[in-house]
Amino acid sequence: MSHNSIGHLFRVTTWGESHGPAIGCVVDGCPPGIALTEADLQVWLEKRKPGQSRFVTQRREPDTAKILSGVFEGVTTGTPISVMIENEDQRSKDYGDIAERFRPGHADYAYFAKYGVRDYRGGGRSSARETACRVAAGAIARKVLGEAIAIRAAVVQIGPHRIDRSRFDWSETENNPFWAPDAAIVPVWEQFLDETRKAGSSTGAVVEVEAQGVPPGWGAPIYGKLDAELAGALMSINAVKGVEIGAGFEAAQLSGEDNADEMRMGPDGPEFLSNRAGGVLGGISTGQPVVARLAFKPTSSILTPRKSIDRAGNEIEVMTKGRHDPCVGIRGAPVAEAMMACVLADAYLRHRAQTGGGAFQPGRDSRS
């Protein structure tokens, strides 16, 4: 049991604070013989990197990942892969005034109550900077999964503004700084976020993440369900307050007929006529795309003064200066992809362990 690890067989442990010398992760259990370079990590870290548009934090971090172990002559060796990312732009002076103060909506008070001590610089361990390690681990997970599995995320809501799902186009996500799959929403979000930022406020978002190509059979009853693992992994991302799979909360108002995805036989095996299940039934993948959505709360660091207390128990007002994402959900999209990748890599190895891998197909396979 480890508070800072995730996964069972594809096991990721992260460490580091926002303003310490470095952050990093150790990935244990990676299969051997997989081609892996630092560039394979960097491509995904670039997606999460701060400072890429006016809509995200202006902290400047190169986020250069170094692989310190577990890779030899370009391939994984099956031993732990240690990845380190040095912190470079650590303007600690920005944060000195919060050493004794609990910022509303942040983990400051909770950490103090639990530990009695905390690294207050930039949120320390509770900073979203930790998510760079998730992205690095996710990059390795993608290599484990191989190219047959495609994982991608889109932002589908910012504040009250949702995309029009009839215009959903994955290719659009690369064309705007929001990972928006609907070109028409982009100017709406631009204007909304500019207003939000000027008002010294912040806003929340909803991200949708999808994995295509997941074969049937991954996951397991009862507490090792694929959707349960996914829910835990996604909820562990900073600022996430809700997770849903497939139809999600919408399923509560569906009828049994509308909810249960019907099946037919296609040329390559079973096919489903809809995907309300989000690719998971009984905790096990069905072969349909695995679909999850996650809700991010608004960034808690805002310029508007808010009531709080300090460590001495004094009542104070807190106003958070510094460089912050007005909508942390935007940079959450690559992080959600990374968590999906890590959970799937783990499920893949667990499935292979118990069954040898593969899936039984109706009309073709039989135990008897």
- Can you tell me which of 51, 62, 80, 289 binds its own copies, judged by CB under 8 A? 80
> What is residue 137's three-state secondary structure?
helix
Minimum distance from CB of 278 to its own copies (Å)?
7
The residues in 169-208 that bind its own copies, with binding defined as CB under 8 A, are 196, 201-206
Round to whole Å and give the CA distance between 77 and 56. Answer: 37
Nearest Cα neighbor of 139 from 17, 47, 242, 238 is 47
Name the residue nearer to its own copies (CB basis): 100 or 190.
100
Check if the beta carbon of residue 65 is closer than 8 Å to that of residue 85: yes
Binders of its own copies among residues 209 to 238 (CB under 8 A) are: 216-225, 227-236
Task: Report the C-alpha gap between 170 and 366 in whole angstroms.
Answer: 38
Q: How far is the CB of 258 from its own copies (least distance, A)?
A: 8
Which one of residues 148, 249, 267, 268 is an interface residue with its own copies (CB under 8 A)? 249
Residue 269's DSSP bridge partners are: 266
DSSP structure class, residue 210: E
Question: At closest approach, how far in Å is the CB of 166 from its own copies?
Answer: 20
Dihedral sign (CA 134, 289, 293, 299): positive
Binding residue (CB under 8 A) for its own copies from 26, 145, 185, 330: 26
Q: How far is the CB of 229 from its own copies (least distance, A)?
A: 7
Which one, of 29, 230, 216, 238, lies nearest residue 140 by Cα?
29
Q: How far is the CB of 59 from its own copies (least distance, A)?
A: 18
Out of 3, 148, 171, 267, the residue judged to bind its own copies by CB under 8 A: 3
CB of 354 to its own copies, least distance (A): 5
> Which two tokens mark 189?
């979000």
Length of the chain: 368
How far apart are alpha carbons 139 and 300 in whole angstroms?
28
In the bound complex, what is the minimum distance in angstroms from residue 218's beta carbon to its own copies? 8
Least distance in Å: CB of 135 to its own copies? 14
Q: Which is nearer to its own copies, 173 or 300 (CB)?
A: 300
Is position 154 an interface residue for its own copies (rule: CB under 8 A)?
Answer: no
How many residues form the binding site for its own copies (CB under 8 A)? 167
Contacting its own copies (CB under 8 A), which of 39, 93, 148, 160? 160
Residue 177 burial class via C-beta count within 10 angstroms: exposed 0-12, middle 13-18, buried 19 and up:
middle
Cβ-contact 47, 330 below 8 angstroms: no
Distances (CA, A) of 69 to 8, 36, 103, 270, 293: 20, 12, 38, 42, 34
The amino acid that residue 214 corresponds to is: V
Give dist(CA 356, CA 349) in Å, integer: 9
Of 40, 61, 130, 210, which one interacts with its own copies (CB under 8 A)? 130
Which residues in 267-306 contact its own copies (CB under 8 A)?
270, 273, 276-278, 280-287, 295-302, 304, 306
* Subset of residues 320 to 339 that bind its own copies, contact rule: CB under 8 A: 329
Distance of closest approach, residue 41 Cβ to its own copies, in angstroms: 16
Residue 326: CB atoms within 10 A of its CB come to 26
Our CB check for its own copies shows the closer of 39 and 171 to be 39
Among 177, 248, 289, 322, binds its own copies (CB under 8 A): 248
Cβ closer to its own copies: 171 or 256? 256
For 187, the token pair is 């100017």
Asked if 352 touches its own copies (CB under 8 A), the answer is yes
